[in-house]
Structure 1
């Protein structure tokens, strides 16, 4: 649901020209996103700090196929590749949940470790499933500053969607050690929050 913030960004000339044909995509806590021509998207932020943080993360993970490529960054905006696909939670509601998604999520978290993230987590709403069943991260936050040792938000989201047990069962097949660790941590978290 759109919020009532007002946004302003001092675009460079090229982005200004592209923005003339922009289409609204969505709005989150930190900013508003528009589709641009040339398969790009622009995110306009409320705060300079949030813009800088997200832009710097996208720069650092530029070699990873799990993140959109950053094209340019201003004080209050970033231009990056547009991510096509369906939000993970919406995808699960429409198409169900299977082993391939679990495997792709496991590989994503291996990539987070490779990239030396301190936050090994992502929300369902920040993950998109592309047409070829690849996972893309659209809104990386606090990846190098917050410490989370397992995919807590993701698993909490899967719990709400009633597919957490299926996910854990798949991870047991893929990596029993990780499955035991994640299951123990998420069960402790859910019990403490009285969510089970």
Structure 2
């Protein structure tokens, strides 16, 4: 069960005015999110450090098609573009995992490297699939600070959905060398964490 937190932040006048028409969207471990007019959201954080890190990541990725635009970074909040779509894990539960989506995940992970991320991983719940089947990221965490050189969280979730082998077979057709590397790293990770492959 998620804890209840008391949020408090000093807003600029423009944001304060927008908040009058805000609609609650949800709450995570690091913040609470409201929808604002003009296809924007505001995320209010518990910790300034986390707010700054996420805001700076969005500023550094502003030219990437995979990340929402950031409009304002405050001490404890960010105002950014709203990401429309369905969470990746929910999407593939309904639709399965075809080669096109696997290729888009592969391209997304390549984009991480291009952007200078040291964390070449993400969670399924931080990727959204739009109506036209584009992938968009939300809640980028630890991208420039937490070193992870293969998509272990992503593949761990695909494993629990019994779609890991489907994904890795698609990747093998796209980039055989990358597929071999990911498999070898995943074998070590699963063995260390005592996780079994789901088929």
TM-score w.r.t. the length of structure 2 is 0.96
1:121 touches 1:148 (CA, 8 Å); kept in 2? Answer: yes
1:3 touches 1:27 (CA, 8 Å); kept in 2? Answer: no
Aligned to 1:29: 29
Alignment of 1:6-21 (within 5 A): 6-21=6-21
Residue segments in structure 1 that go unaligned for 5+ positions in a row = none
Inter-partner Cα distance in structure 2 for 1:191 and 1:167: 20
Alignment of 1:114-133 (within 5 A): 114-133=114-133
Inter-partner Cα distance in structure 1 for 2:62 and 2:6: 30
Aligned to 2:142: 142
Count of aligned pairs: 196
By how many angstroms is 1:3 displaced? 3.0
Q: Deviations over 1:24-51 (max 9, x none)?
A: 1111111011111100010000001100
Aligned to 2:157: 157
By how many angstroms is 1:2 displaced? 5.0
SS in structure 2 of the partner of residue 147 of structure 1:
coil
Residue segments in structure 2 that go unaligned for 5+ positions in a row = none
Q: Deviations over 1:61-106 (max 9, x none)?
A: 1110100000001100000000000111111112211111100000
Aligned to 2:193: 193
Inter-partner Cα distance in structure 1 for 2:137 and 2:3: 23
CA RMSD of aligned residues (A): 0.9
- Large movers: runs of 4+ above 6 Å: none
TM-score w.r.t. the length of structure 1 is 0.97
SS in structure 2 of the partner of residue 29 of structure 1:
coil
Inter-partner Cα distance in structure 1 for 2:21 and 2:100: 37
1:119 touches 1:149 (CA, 8 Å); kept in 2? Answer: yes
Aligned to 1:108: 108
Inter-partner Cα distance in structure 2 for 1:23 and 1:101: 31
Aligned to 1:79: 79
Inter-partner Cα distance in structure 1 for 2:156 and 2:23: 32
Inter-partner Cα distance in structure 1 for 2:44 and 2:58: 15
1:88 touches 1:125 (CA, 8 Å); kept in 2? Answer: yes
